[in-house]
Amino acid sequence: MTDSMRIIPMKDIDYGTPARESATQVTLTIDGRSVTVPEGTSVMRAAAEAGISVPKLCATDHLEAFGSCRLCAVEIEGRRGTPASCTTPVAPGMAVWTQTDRLARLRRGVMELYISDHPLDCLTCAANGDCELQDMAGTVGLREVRYGYDGENHRAAAKDESNPYFAFDPSKCIVCSRCVRACDEVQGTLALTIDGRGFASKVSPGALESFMDSECVSCGACVQACPTATLTEKSVIQLGQPEHSVITTCAYCGVGCSFKAEMKGTTVVRMVPWKDGGANEGHSCVKGRFAWGYATHKDRRTQPMIRETTADPWRVVSWNEAISYAARRLKAVQEKHGRNAIGGITSSRTTNEEVYVVQKMIRAAFGNNNVDTCARVCHSPTGYGLKQAFGTSAGTQDFRSVDHADVILVIGANPTDGHPVFGSRMKQRIRKGAKLIVVDPRRIDLVRSPHVEAAHHLQLRPGTNVAVLNALAHVIVTEDLVDHAFVAERCDPADFAQWAAFAAEPRNSPEAVAEACGVPAGELRAVARLYATGGNAAIYYGLGVTEHSQGSTSVMAMANLAMATGNIGRPGVGVNPLRGQNNVQGSCDMGSFPHELTGYRDVADEAVRRQFEAVWNAALDPVPGLRIPNMFDEAVHGSFKGLYVQGEDIAQSDPNTQHVHAALQAMEVVIVQDLFLNETAAFAHVFLPGTSFLEKDGTFTNAERRINRVRPAMPPKTGKHEWQIPCELATAMGYPMHYDDASRIMDEIAAVTPTFRGVGFATLDRLGSVQWPCNEEAPEGTPIMHAEAFVRGKGQFVVTEYVPTPEQASRFYPLILTTGRILSHYNVGAQTRRTANVAWHPEDILEIHAHDAEQRGIRDGDLVSLASRIGATTLKARVSDRMPQGVVYTTFHHPVTGANVVTTENSDWATQCPEYKVTAVQVTRSNQPADWQRKHAAVIETVAAE
Ligand code: SF4
Ligand code: SF4
Ligand code: SF4
Ligand code: FES
């Protein structure tokens, strides 16, 4: 029995102040009841934990107590006055009274003052029924307001509706400062202040700016914290209060935030981050909190479509017709060109269960291992590198671990934009004293933002990660900063000796590599010393590490550093990939790679294959299949003819767009399963509509290996669960596949995957979420891996020779382009471009250093041509002090920019992950779009018109 809806009470219990951890317990009495709580707990929280509710307005349990409203006053025997219970810590033997005549008078007086300056439009207010001021007026028994409403007040204060998602109505503000503290303590942006004093005090974004003009990043923490209707979601203003909620998981990034989808029937009213969410603990970013409107966007396709050729118009058909047509065409290709002429790509945006059935369909029904996943183009080097070093293809820590880090090394990642909720957590830790090292060619926000400053920013040349990491290793070895006890106990001694000798070679010294890397030797030495000796040191990295010709080498080089300094296997340390898409970890775990079945077990291993063959009742091919780039190459050469693509816009997201388009054009059948007619659909013959996360029933696995439930807030708009589509296609191809519901798929995954043996929907409903491995040895999961021993036994040091990428700047292409993403958009933007998030980033921009711009006569806002050896495109330039000289940067969120028109086919030596991060380019002024952009605009218009 599983709980596919998980409808929970609309209002969470608010304990008033945060929980405290202490080995010392304190016993006191509250209203005559004996209560025992950890030392440091507030009287208010102790009361709430005993079921006694003390009135409050300025306190809430995700913010530190502030003590401004005075509503929570209590009487304590032996103490004078009426102290605020939110700011008073418990003491042994304390006797507290929360309800006395004196307190009742006091509280009514406080409420009277608030209400005398409040517009009493409760019946038409958007927060009616969800307003703490209203609740407190009732709680304290306010019956009259003696002061009248004629004097000076704030009731005519102007609204700020500049933010697309929430409104600010200062006439309703009680200046409790919860919003200001949320922006500071939870989000860490400090966009809000209380301006003025006494009666004149008011909340202000920035220096009396509007929300849109301020530093606000629209995370929604202030809106959630506001006890009145002052800060309210526009969707609530429009739709009214929700009536039930469903716990589910964000479908954007690898942080995997849990949300309460607050609903009215089958309409989402708002998404509220869930306090008990293991990854986010009640926080969110603009995407998960607000950018869910794409799920019901008019562009969404909900009916299957087919066509003979890509020149024909699409024809809407029934599911049965679409499935049998797709099966017929795939079988025809196999009959003509052989069993291996078809394959498929799984999606990291779909659930584990949906990925699992797609790879099963390919292996069992297509009869080959031609399955790959979009992780190929992002974190495949993580899978390879961490498996080599530690024995498992996943990050080592949970997110909470960063709270114990003393040194945080961020390399090739931009957490405040790419993984914002974790970025906020990291910032809080840095503000509490952890030292930050940033290794990135671009000055990301973390380098310097309010109350956060990196101790070191190594602004290296793109493509030199391995040289930098080897230089750090050199210092650690030659200055004897190695944790010899850890290495002796936990690692392979022969590998270590070989690696240490390599690292110590003079050619790896900071002085030898400084010029190539563009980083002063002194900085490299200082960073190595800090990492090795600064206490708990944790590495967090992203695509700026993996998407290189030496991506896998860099991952192993980081693992070497962690093992050499003993920074692995406990809280506060580790090597942690910040995964891109919501389920990229899961899609890899689920057997999406051509050489591996679920749990990263080799398809060539007969014992492993036999296990699957017994459960699947199918013979499996022992030969690993084609990777995505091989599929494209073989399509161009004429031997790969049919592709099934699930939720992945390869025509836009993969490198060397022209080559990808040529490959797709050369195929005889392309099947696209997606929410929208994306760029790839222009080459497709069958379109199978998919479901949004709001319709899905299943699980996502985040960057910390946390398996979160995804629960349907509404029925599938397509009339079919997405996992049913591959099942029916496989059946139509002659391999029967059927499940009663998604939980049965997870049961099968658990049966065939040792690290998932204890996972099931019932377990997830009980625990909230669980981090794999979850099995007999770890029934409640494994937050931190490799605690006693590495999964592979002894940790393996690998010699990481630096081999410069062939992609070098030249006279014709003197600049290096690197790419990344920004907070408001996600990946190719298919979802976020269909929301109001476009208000923040309507187009991709090329960031360029002032000197490089000046040399080319480029001014801020000019249209420029960006040309590489592969192709050219046109976009606007921004002169930016974030960039070092010689390096330019852009995002790839808008198809019309086509950043991947210029990226090359260079790729990681081990995994073929494309080298998106290094492309030699020239930038010149331009006055017109590139040719392909003009043609592309016509394609977009055609797709939109269909
Ligand atoms: S939305 Fe977030 S960033 Fe903006 S003011 Fe509120 S808390 Fe601060
Ligand atoms: S906007 Fe809301 S949270 Fe902020 S001070 Fe006013 S009432 Fe309090
Ligand atoms: S941080 Fe990631 S998972 Fe969390 S709300 Fe934002 S996009 Fe969603
Ligand atoms: S809730 Fe304690 S002073 Fe406001």
424 CB under 6 A from ligand 1?
no
Ligand 2 center to residue 127 CA distance, Å? 13
Q: How far apart are CA 847 and CA 698, in angstroms?
A: 40
The secondary structure of 102-124, three-state, reads HHHHHHHHHHHHHHCCCCCCHHH
Half-sphere exposure of 560 (CA within 13 A, CB side): 30
Q: What is the mean pLDDT of residues 540-556?
A: 91
Long-range contacts of 781-784 (CB under 8 A, 24+ apart): 781/706, 782/705, 783/397, 783/398, 783/400, 783/401, 783/704, 784/396, 784/397, 784/398, 784/401, 784/569, 784/570, 784/571, 784/574
Ligand 2 center to residue 412 CA distance, Å? 37
Ligand 1 center to residue 545 CA distance, Å? 30
Ligand 1 atom at shortest distance from the alpha carbon of 218: 1
218 CB under 6 A from ligand 1?
yes
Q: How confident is the model at residue 820 (pLDDT cuts 50, 70, 90)?
A: confident
β-partners of residue 28 are: 35
470 CB under 6 A from ligand 1?
no
- Do residues 529 and 481 lie in contact, with contact meaning Cβ atoms separated by under 8 Å? yes
Ligand 4 center to residue 280 CA distance, Å? 26
Minimum-distance ligand to the CA of 68? 4
Q: How far apart are CA 421 and CA 404, in angstroms?
A: 17
Q: Output the residue whose Cα is nearest ligand 4's atom 1.
A: 56
Ligand 3 atom at shortest distance from the alpha carbon of 289: 5
The two structure tokens encoding residue 631? 């599929």
Q: How far apart are CA 742 and CA 35, in angstroms?
A: 44
Ligand 4 center to residue 199 CA distance, Å? 18
Minimum-distance ligand to the CA of 257? 3
Which backbone phi and psi does 756 adopt, to 5 degrees?
-110, 10
Q: Which of 206-210, 339-343, 397-401, 702-706 shows the lowest per-residue confidence on average (mean pLDDT)?
A: 206-210
| Bridge pairing between strands 192-195 and 202-205 | antiparallel
Ligand 4 center to residue 201 CA distance, Å? 18
pLDDT of 816 > 60? The answer is yes
Alpha-carbon Rg for the chain in angstroms: 29
Residue position matching structure tokens 């306010």 = 142
pLDDT of 946 > 50? The answer is no
**From 115, 134, 178, mutation site for ligand 2 pocket: most ligand atoms within 8 A of C-beta:** 178
The greatest distance separating any two alpha carbons of the chain, rounded to the nearest whole angstrom, comes to 92
Q: How many CB atoms lie within 10 A of CB 475?
A: 23
864 CB under 6 A from ligand 1?
no
- Provide the 8-state DSSP code for 681: G
pLDDT of residue 157: 76
Ligand 1 center to residue 161 CA distance, Å? 14
CA angle (447, 451, 455) in 5-degree steps: 40
Ligand 2 center to residue 273 CA distance, Å? 19
Minimum-distance ligand to the CA of 154? 2
Q: How far apart are CA 796 and CA 100, in angstroms?
A: 67
Q: How far apart are CA 64 and CA 201, in angstroms?
A: 21
Could you tell me what percent of the chain has a pLDDT over 90?
76
Ligand 4 center to residue 56 CA distance, Å? 5
pLDDT one-digit tens code per residue, 851-876:
999 999 999 999 999 999 888 889 99
pLDDT of 98 > 60? The answer is yes
Q: How far apart are CA 31 and CA 911, in angstroms?
A: 65
ω into residue 420 within 30 of 0, thus cis? no
The two structure tokens encoding residue 942? 């055609």
Q: How confident is the model at residue 154 (pLDDT cuts 50, 70, 90)?
A: low
- Do residues 831 and 252 lie in contact, with contact meaning Cβ atoms separated by under 8 Å? yes
Residues 6 or more apart whose CB falls under 8 angstroms from that of 386 comprise 392, 393, 394, 395, 396, 555, 559, 575, 577
Q: Which of 395-404, 770-779, 926-935 shows the lowest per-residue confidence on average (mean pLDDT)?
A: 926-935
Q: Which of 480-494, 540-554, 822-836 shows the lowest per-residue confidence on average (mean pLDDT)?
A: 822-836
- Do residues 790 and 891 lie in contact, with contact meaning Cβ atoms separated by under 8 Å? no
Ligand 2 atom at shortest distance from the alpha carbon of 58: 8
DSSP class per residue in 192-230: EEEESSGGG-EEEETTT--TTTSS-----HHHHH-SSSS
pTM of the model: 0.91
Minimum-distance ligand to the CA of 449? 1
Sign, CA dihedral 64-67-70-74, equals: positive
Distances from the Cα of 868 to the Cα of 631, 808, 811, 862, 903, angstroms: 24, 11, 12, 19, 7
Average pLDDT, the chain: 91
pLDDT one-digit tens code per residue, 549-583:
899 999 999 999 999 999 999 999 999 999 878 89
| Spatial CA neighbour of 625 closest among 611, 643, 651, 649 | 643
- Do residues 650 and 660 lie in contact, with contact meaning Cβ atoms separated by under 8 Å? yes
pLDDT of residue 686: 97
Ligand 4 atom at shortest distance from the alpha carbon of 54: 1
Query: 3-class SS at 613?
Result: helix
Q: How confident is the model at residue 775 (pLDDT cuts 50, 70, 90)?
A: very high
Residue position matching structure tokens 């107590």 = 65
Q: Output the residue whose Cα is nearest ligand 3's atom 8.
A: 288
Residue position matching structure tokens 């008990």 = 276
pLDDT of residue 267: 95
Ligand 3 atom at shortest distance from the alpha carbon of 255: 3
β-partners of residue 244 are: 263
224 CB under 6 A from ligand 1?
no
- Ligand 3: list residues with CB < 6 Å: 250, 252-253, 255-257, 280, 284-285, 287-288, 419-421
Ligand 1 atom at shortest distance from the alpha carbon of 231: 6
- 374 or 426, which is more confident? 426
Q: Which of 218-232, 331-345, 895-909 shows the lowest per-residue confidence on average (mean pLDDT)?
A: 895-909
| Bridge pairing between strands 919-925 and 872-879 | unpaired
Minimum-distance ligand to the CA of 165? 1
pLDDT of 828 > 80? The answer is no
Q: Which of 298-302, 659-663, 687-691, 823-827 shows the lowest per-residue confidence on average (mean pLDDT)?
A: 823-827
Q: What is the mean pLDDT of residues 124-136?
A: 89
pLDDT of 203 > 60? The answer is yes
Minimum-distance ligand to the CA of 132? 2
**From 192, 203, 222, mutation site for ligand 2 pocket: most ligand atoms within 8 A of C-beta:** 203
| Bridge pairing between strands 872-879 and 845-848 | parallel
Q: Which of 44-58, 238-252, 699-713, 920-934 shows the lowest per-residue confidence on average (mean pLDDT)?
A: 920-934
pLDDT of residue 945: 38
727 CB under 6 A from ligand 1?
no
Ligand 2 center to residue 124 CA distance, Å? 19
Minimum-distance ligand to the CA of 284? 3
pLDDT of 393 > 70? The answer is yes
pLDDT of residue 936: 66
pLDDT of 647 > 90? The answer is no
68 CB under 6 A from ligand 2?
no
pLDDT of 7 > 60? The answer is no
pLDDT of residue 143: 72
Q: How far apart are CA 250 and CA 291, in angstroms?
A: 10
| Spatial CA neighbour of 693 closest among 238, 220, 291 | 291
Distances from the Cα of 257 to the Cα of 349, 492, 887, angstroms: 14, 38, 34
